Amino acid sequence: MIVNTLQEAVAGQAHRHGATVTFGTSAKRESLSYPAFAEQIAAAAGGFAQQGVRPGDRVMLRISSSREGVLALLGLMHLGAVPVSVKPRVPGAILGQYFARVMRQQNVRHAFRISGHGLNELRLVLRPRSSPEPSPGDRDGLAFVQYTSGSTGMPRPIPLSHRAVLGNIDAISVIAGMKPGHAGLIALPLHHDMGLIGVLTSLVQGIDLVVEEPGTFLRRPMAALRLLRDAESVHSAFPDFMLRYLAARMTEAAAGQDAPDTRLLSTWSTVFCGAEPIRPQSVRTFLDAVEPWGFDPTALVFCYGLAEAALMATSHRYVDAATGFRTDGPTTTACLGSTMPGLDLRIVDESGRDCADGEVGAVQLRGATLFDGYDGATDHRATWFDTGDLGCLRSGHLHLSGRRGDRISVNGANVFATDVEQVAATVPGVAECVVLPYAGSYAVVIVPERAREIDTDQLAALVATEFGAAPERVVQVTHSAVARTASGKPARTHMVAQLEQGTLG
């Protein structure tokens, strides 16, 4: 059956009596069958309608991983309203000013889980049978608006059509081999595209879904993993930092029992890894830790994604370290694979000329799953979108160098912040590293492991030797001093301002 909208696609799975949606928070865990969940979505839509929301209205909301948060999102779409997803915080910005900016840009009159600002504050009120059928809509119509994280400036709106989101969901499902009877685990924040599209993909495909509050999952990962032990096949998504975190937790769990349960992860078919640089050490540590639990390394899928492409743009299923990574000089880059169906990718130099194989240039995309421009009126099916990322193609496979804004020029030589971070992270005792442009050069901000002291002169010498450009400063700070976006990425622009003002750390 061909569906035009997300609300039609989700409602089309309501007949799956054997499938469940489970929500895990710090307070409770609750499960609903697909038919019961579909009834609640329709009832939520009815409740919003009674509070004055009409089809086409834009509603600002902060999406949580609870049943109430997901119901609010889906209920608004069921009604035909347009959810406008905002971040819970923006580094260096006053939240009220951020919300006021969104209200002006989106002409918002209603809000969910956001108080004040003269908006109609909505409550989740279930009105059974008041909105039984999903609102009809146009496949090219607006599904929702998602704001960027603000890591390099004020967040910008990303309007996504039903066509773009459904097309990306179809492509993700094909890569994963997803089908009814399988299960999905989402333990990422839903205000981030990786978490949000992960939830929507599971619901559109009619598979069992476990939505775990990120903080709850990080505190008790084994509890969520055991929920999926007997699933036919499991699909999930973990950025690089979660690979490292899970490796530590799984190693601790294995040490605490006679023998790990080899079935626990044996049915895991897909773990999408993206959203931040994928480091070979993280992958090695993760695979070593999960091997006793039955995890198949080929379940890892390296990917390149961005909210402007609905989510995934390229993918590469892991085989081994030799094909998964490429070493160039002091740094190693992950193979992010080839483009998803319906997308075109090219690498161009500053003059717009196509780059040769292995030549670094600007990464540009176009295709059916691209957004309609920050203005909501640019058709990126035909017009190339410059992602702001730099990278190269090697035999048709993408390798990223970093963001254009992360390229720092020092005495005529280009240094990528992520490359320096990768080398600095190899110094014993360094828990995290953030590189910032500073005083015509760059500064290296390091977070030492607990009770460790780093020889900053030695670290500076190592970096200078590897890249031919010495850092202007090496600064040690505590973990809490690293400003982060709501998605967990270092807020570089904000940290540069702090460094220049002498307030960092």
Residue 480: give its domain's CATH number: 3.30.300.30
Local confidence pLDDT in tens for the 505 residues of the chain: 678 999 999 999 999 999 999 998 877 889 999 999 999 999 999 999 999 999 999 999 999 999 999 999 999 999 999 999 998 877 666 778 888 889 999 999 999 998 878 899 999 999 987 777 999 999 999 999 998 876 555 678 999 999 999 999 999 999 999 999 999 999 999 998 999 999 999 999 999 999 999 989 988 899 999 999 999 999 999 999 899 899 999 998 888 776 899 999 999 999 999 988 898 989 999 999 999 999 999 999 999 999 999 999 999 999 999 999 998 877 889 999 999 988 999 999 999 999 999 999 999 999 999 999 988 889 999 999 999 999 999 999 999 988 887 788 777 667 888 888 888 888 888 888 898 888 888 889 999 988 788 888 888 888 888 887 888 889 999 988 888 876 677 888 888 888 888 888 7
- Burial per residue of 266-291, b for 16 or more beta-carbon CB atoms within 10 angstroms, e otherwise: ebbbbbbbbbbbbbeebbebbbebbb
Q: Does residue 52 fall inside a structural domain?
A: yes
Please state, in angstroms and rounded to a whole number, the distance separating the CA atoms of residues 196 and 193: 5
Same structural domain, 40 and 184:
yes
Q: Does residue 340 fall inside a structural domain?
A: yes
Q: Does residue 291 fall inside a structural domain?
A: no
Same structural domain, 110 and 154:
yes
Please state, in angstroms and rounded to a whole number, the distance separating the CA atoms of residues 105 and 82: 14
Same structural domain, 399 and 497:
no
Same structural domain, 202 and 100:
yes
Last residue of a domain, one of 202, 237, 272: 237
Do residues 476 and 454 touch, judged by C-beta distance below 8 A? yes
Last residue of a domain, one of 202, 220, 237: 237
Last residue of a domain, one of 374, 404, 434: 404
Q: What are phi and psi of 254, to 5 degrees?
A: -65, -35
Same structural domain, 16 and 162:
yes
Q: Does residue 286 fall inside a structural domain?
A: no
Structural domains of the chain, count: 3
Which domain covers residue 50, as residue numbers? Answer: 6-237
Q: Does residue 264 fall inside a structural domain?
A: no
Q: Does residue 224 fall inside a structural domain?
A: yes
Same structural domain, 96 and 199:
yes
Residue 390: give its domain's CATH number: 2.30.38.10
pTM given for the model: 0.88
Same structural domain, 54 and 94:
yes
